[in-house]
């Protein structure tokens, strides 16, 4: 049976402590109670003393990192390194956060029964961005609330070159993008793929994923459901209520999860095209995105990276 390590990013603020405790009483409870011996669950956050720590009782990792939004890549990278140092036994890591619900029974089926390719990255949403990742303009990357990464990718992320040396050919020199984990992980993964003759577009695969701010009518059919609330007031108080509603709806449909056709969980038709500097975003199908690449960026993404050691 394949083994999965779930790493949920958190933060040392009261709101995120509440979210941590909430998911530990919802989808993570059966994992913590040992009902899924092939799955481990840990949250990770910044340490207070610039050292690495593990609290096995609370299922929390602490790493020496910036605890702000712009420190998320450092925090995620160091949690991967700590997981390797602690010799966690896994075939895949699911990198997520504390405002995302994981359908444990279904994802256990997916990991073990679906014909996964270790060179692929499975994500809830693919972004095609001119200025959000690299190593060139107009590259794919996966949104960080749902990234299923094989040990192959984790090992190569851990030993990747310094970010600054990789992004020499990125059109945008906006430093904050490369301090945010999903942007930086996309940069590292795409660069490795290019340098090793792997198609850096084909490796990104999307799983069935609900629309932002939308609770699906049949939640048990989804592997991963973000319950983050986005509004002008940034009022996120409803998130815990929403997560509990999702949890009990899925619990009531446990007997139906075994009959779900796993091929239906892969959906590669939706790509989000974004130009962050201009505040532009549109949703297209993958065929359109590939034609767009041919027209807009083919000469650019074939430029050789000369400064990578």
Indicate whether 308 belongs to any domain: no
Decide: 200 and 121 in contact? Cβ < 8 Å: no
Q: How far apart are CA 198 and CA 87, in angstroms?
A: 28
Domain containing residue 273: CATH number: 3.90.550.10
Q: What is the pLDDT of residue 151?
A: 98
Q: How far apart are CA 10 and CA 200, in angstroms?
A: 29
Q: How far apart are CA 143 and CA 127, in angstroms?
A: 7
* Chain segment 45-85, per-residue pLDDT in tens: 999 999 999 999 999 999 999 999 889 999 999 999 999 99
Res 193 pLDDT > 80 = yes
Q: What is the pLDDT of residue 284?
A: 92
Q: Which domain holds residue 207?
A: 4-301
Indicate whether 13 belongs to any domain: yes
Output the CA angle 9-22-254, nearest 5 degrees: 100
- The number of angstroms, rounded, from the C-alpha of 212 to the middle of its chain's C-alpha atoms is 15
Stated pTM of the model: 0.92
* Residue 60 β-bridge partners: 43, 55
The C-alpha torsion from 119 through 169 and 281 to 141, rounded to 10°, is: 10
The C-alpha torsion from 74 through 79 and 84 to 88, rounded to 10°, is: -170
Structural domains counted in the chain: 1
Indicate whether 213 belongs to any domain: yes
Indicate whether 307 belongs to any domain: no
pLDDT band at 256 (very low <50, low <70, confident <90, very high): very high
Indicate whether 87 belongs to any domain: yes
Q: What is the pLDDT of residue 307?
A: 35
* Chain segment 134-159, per-residue pLDDT in tens: 888 888 999 999 999 999 999 999 99
Helix (H/G/I), strand (E/B), else coil: 97 = strand
Helix (H/G/I), strand (E/B), else coil: 14 = helix
Res 19 pLDDT > 80 = yes
The C-alpha torsion from 262 through 223 and 24 to 81, rounded to 10°, is: 90
Mean pLDDT of 272-282: 84
Indicate whether 248 belongs to any domain: yes
Place of tokens 């040990």: 151
Indicate whether 309 belongs to any domain: no
């Amino acid at each position: 049976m394949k083994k999965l390590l779930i790493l949920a990013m958190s933060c040392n603020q009261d709101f995120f402590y509440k979210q941590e405790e909430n998911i530990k009483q919802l989808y993570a409870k059966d994992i913590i109670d040992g009902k899924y011996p092939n799955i481990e669950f840990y949250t990770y956050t910044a340490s207070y003393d610039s050292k690495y720590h593990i609290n096995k009782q609370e299922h929390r990792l602490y790493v020496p990192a910036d605890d702000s939004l712009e420190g998320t890549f450092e925090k995620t990278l160091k949690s991967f390194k700590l997981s390797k140092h602690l010799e966690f036994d896994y075939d895949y890591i699911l990198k997520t956060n504390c405002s995302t619900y994981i359908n444990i029974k279904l994802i256990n089926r997916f990991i073990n029964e679906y014909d996964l390719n270790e060179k692929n990255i499975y994500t809830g949403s693919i972004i095609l961005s001119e200025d959000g990742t690299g190593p060139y303009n107009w590259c794919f990357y996966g949104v960080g609330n749902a990234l299923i990464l094989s040990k192959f990718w984790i090992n190569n992320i851990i030993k990747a070159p310094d970010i600054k040396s990789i992004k020499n050919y990125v059109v945008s020199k906006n430093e904050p993008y490369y301090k945010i984990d999903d942007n930086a992980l996309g940069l590292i993964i795409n660069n490795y793929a290019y340098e090793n003759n792997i198609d850096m577009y084909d490796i990104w695969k999307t799983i069935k994923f609900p629309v932002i701010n939308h609770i699906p009518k049949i939640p048990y059919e989804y592997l991963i459901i973000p319950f983050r609330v986005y509004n002008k007031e940034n009022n996120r108080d409803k998130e815990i209520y929403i997560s509990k509603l999702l949890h009990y709806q899925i619990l009531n449909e446990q007997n139906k999860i075994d009959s779900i056709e796993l091929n239906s969980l892969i959906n590669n038709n939706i790509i989000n095209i974004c130009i962050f500097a201009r505040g532009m975003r549109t949703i297209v199908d993958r065929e359109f995105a590939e034609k767009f690449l041919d027209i807009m960026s083919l000469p650019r993404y074939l430029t050789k990276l000369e400064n990578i050691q």
